[in-house]
Amino acid sequence: MLLKKGKTFPGGNEQPPGETDYAGMISLALQKQLGTSHQAIKTAMRWTGAGERTVKNWFSGAHGPSGEHLIALARHSDEVLNIFLMMADRRIAVARIKIAEARTKLADDLETVEMLLADGT
């Protein structure tokens, strides 16, 4: 029980700024990448070594992953990495990743077209 005397903190029952946004955004990224099934939870557990209740809290948006778990998630999930970079206001890094992915896909498609043209002659 807390004493009634002393200083009070403004908004004492609120979470720190950005905390709910962080947890919610990571939740959306995980659900987009893995879905919402029990298998998705097991996959995130395997990626991070976190317990089932912890991972369920991430998926529900009740809590976000701590540093080590966030790194492990970003290592395996492009969605989590992109959300993390956007929350860190590193949109240029996200754009660079997407450009590199598009360049690779375009090179693959161009190779396929060249093979089709070579076979057709």
**Residue 6: inside a domain:** no
Same domain (yes/no): 77, 22: yes
pLDDT in tens, 58-106: 999 999 999 999 999 999 999 999 999 888 888 888 788 889 889 999 9
Range of the domain at 103: 91-121
**Do both 55 and 101 map to the same domain?**
no
Give the per-residue pLDDT at 119.
Answer: 84
Q: How many domains does the chain have?
A: 2
DSSP-derived letter for residue 15 is P
85 and 117 fall within a common domain: no
Residues 74 and 111 in one domain: no
Q: Are residues 24 and 82 in the same domain?
A: yes
Q: Residues 60, 23: one domain?
A: yes
CB atoms within 10 A of CB 49: 10
The values of phi and psi at residue 3, to 5°, are -75, 150
Residue 21 exposure: Cα atoms within 13 Å on the Cβ side? 8
61 and 116 part of one domain:
no
**Residue 24 carries which side chain, given as an amino acid letter?**
G
Answer yes or no: is pLDDT of 12 > 50: no
Answer yes or no: do 36 and 67 share one domain. Answer: yes
Q: What is the CATH number of the domain that holds 24?
A: 1.10.260
Q: Are residues 69 and 96 in the same domain?
A: no
72-86 burial code (b ≥16 CB/10 A, e <16): bbbebbebbbbbbbe
Q: How confident is the model at residue 4 (pLDDT cuts 50, 70, 90)?
A: low
Q: How many residues does the chain have?
A: 121
Of the chain, the end-to-end C-alpha distance in Å amounts to 84
Evaluate whether 27 touches 56 at the Cβ level (below 8 Å). Answer: no
- Domain membership of residue 111 (yes or no) is yes
Q: Specify if 13 maps to a domain.
A: no
Predicted confidence band at 121 (pLDDT cuts at 50, 70, 90)? Answer: low
Give domain status of residue 97, yes or no. yes
**What pLDDT sits at residue 45?**
97
pTM over 0.75: no
Going from the C-alpha of 64 to that of each of 12, 33, 34, 81, the distances in angstroms are 20, 16, 16, 14
Q: How does pLDDT run across 15-64, given as a tens digit for each residue?
A: 444 445 899 999 999 999 999 999 999 999 999 999 999 999 999 999 99
